[in-house]
Amino acid sequence: MTDPLLPTVRLKPKANARAVRRGFPWVFANEMVVDRRTGALPPGSVALLEDAERTPMGLVAVNPTSKIMCRMLDPVGTEAPDQAWFAARIGHALSLRERLFDTPFYRLIHAEADGLPGVIIDRFGDLAVVQPNAAWADVYLDAMVAALVEVTGVTTVLKNAGGRGRMLEGLDALDAVLVGTAPEAALPVEMNDAIYMADVTGGQKTGLFYDQRPNHAFAARLAKDARVLDVFSHVGGFALAALAGGAQSALAVDGSAPALALATEAADRMGASDRFTTRQGDAFDAMMGLAQEDALFDLVICDPPAFAPSKPALEKGLRAYERVARLSAGLVQDGGYLVLCSCSHAADLTVFTGACLRGIGRAGRHAQLVHTGFAGPDHPLMPQLAESGYLKALFFRL
């Protein structure tokens, strides 16, 4: 039954209604009829979307202040979400993760791809961290969290408000404890036979990057008896996986002293502290310093932050990726391996690969591309939304 209290919003005649019907989950503000009534809707309102001929198109979340004005919630839905609605979505997502993983450490909800637009939920055992990066998710947060507890049985739920999307949606940056009690220390997480320390209250994003899990595993296969350099290491992502894979040594470089302290704690828990060292500072300066020391490594990994987070930043970002490739390639022993990563959705695989190859060539090196990695299956791709396939990892032999 259609909810008589829900407002109706409408596409302009020239809007691409076909794309929405084929599964594209967003409608931009310039595609919408924005009259006085629609413009006055509070951010996060739920409405019924119609095409220009007033044919129903589904249930959408509306934010008149955002460039993404409508996010599709349900192409056949006609009633506002409630706890049962959220429980069905979360339960569907949980069934995939439980089939994939033996332990409850994974991304549980990957935004649009899991049917909750703008929502990220990472699970750390009995604790979950929620990033409600769209206005509608803030409005319906109580029902969502109640469903999360009901379906998963987690006893602690934290809200992380540090996502870039919240700023674009005009939302606050206030973290909160929604259920239970926040942990006083970082949480140990086992992945790929390594241990990681997740700072779920003060770390980057939700505290740990699950997306690189399969790429950590592939790098570990290259790491046996190797001297490893992990640049932009954060809490030791690739370095700790390499140690678990039998690396002779691993050097982690990062600008964050707290992140490197967590990596050191993790290496100690693994019994690998004698093979692990850190260098805190600017990654570019560190690579140039290592080159001046004539340092060479059998395996070098660079996993920088998003240098091209949007299309306007693409050209500058590609230059940065090229520079990373040039500096890091010079640190690889002949016959060794170089892993270059990008989490910039604006830099697709083709242009990112091109930037990497230019950098490798400028370093005077020749490369074989032996493997291309992407985010793990707990970060499913929504085929209609290219932005959901943001992560690329290129494995070269030089």
Regarding whether 169 and 20 lie in a shared domain, the answer is no
Confidence class of residue 387 from pLDDT cuts 50, 70 and 90? confident
354's tokens? 């091109």
Residue 19 sits in the same domain as residue 117: no
Residues 158 and 271 in one domain: no
Residue range 19-40, pLDDT digits in tens: 999 999 999 999 999 999 999 9
Query: How does pLDDT run across 277-297, given as a tens digit for each residue?
Result: 999 999 999 999 999 999 999
Q: Would you place residue 3 in the very low, low, confident or very high pLDDT band (cuts 50, 70, 90)?
A: low
Domain assignment present for 98: yes
Q: Which domain holds residue 387?
A: 187-397
Do 351 and 204 lie in one domain? The reply is yes
203 and 100 in one domain? no
Q: Phi first, then psi: what are they for 19, rounded to 5°? A: -60, -40
In 140-253, which residue ranges form alpha helices assigned H by DSSP?
Answer: 141-152, 164-168, 213-222, 237-244
CATH number at residue 230: 3.40.50.150
Question: Is 296 found in the same domain as 389?
Answer: yes
At residue 113, does pLDDT exceed 70? yes
Please check whether residues 30 and 164 belong to one and the same domain.
no
- Within this chain, do residues 163 and 110 fall inside the same structural domain, yes or no? yes
Q: What tens digit of pLDDT does each residue of 210-262 get?
A: 999 999 999 999 999 999 999 999 999 999 999 999 999 999 999 999 999 99
Both 225 and 311 in a single domain?
yes
pLDDT for residue 44 is more than 80 = yes
Q: How many domains does the chain have?
A: 3
Q: Is residue 3 part of a domain?
A: no
Q: Of 282, 130, 360, nearest to 290 (Cα)?
A: 282
pLDDT at position 265 over 60: yes
User: From the CB of residue 152, how many other CB atoms can be counted at a distance below 10 Å?
Assistant: 21
Determine how many CB atoms are found less than 10 A away from the CB of residue 19.
14
Q: Is the pLDDT of residue 2 over 80?
A: no
Separation between Cα atoms, residue 79 and residue 58, nearest integer Å: 10
Answer whether residue 309 shows pLDDT above 90.
Answer: no
Structural domain includes residue 1: no
The CATH number linked to 90 is 3.30.750.80
Confidence of residue 1 (pLDDT cuts 50, 70, 90): low
CB-based contacts of 35, cutoff 8 Å, min separation 6: none
Cα separation, 189 vs 195, in Å, equals 6
136/197 same-domain check: no
Q: Which of 200, 204, 205 is nearest to 185 (CA)?
A: 200
Examine the fold and report which residue of 32, 56, 74 is the final residue of a domain before the chain moves on: 74
213-222 helix and 237-244 helix, angle to the nearest 10 degrees: 50
Q: At which of 55, 74, 93 does a domain end?
A: 74
For 20-70, the three-class secondary structure string (H helix, E strand, C coil) is HHCCCCEEEHHHECCCHHHHCCCCCEEEEEECCCCCEEEEEEECCCCCEEE
Report d(CA 114, CA 379) in Å as an integer. 9
Residue 65 scores a pLDDT above 90: yes
| 225: in domain | yes
Cα 370 to Cα 39, 222, 322, 356, 357, distances in angstroms? 52, 11, 19, 14, 13
Mean pLDDT of the chain: 95
Residue 2 lies in a domain: no
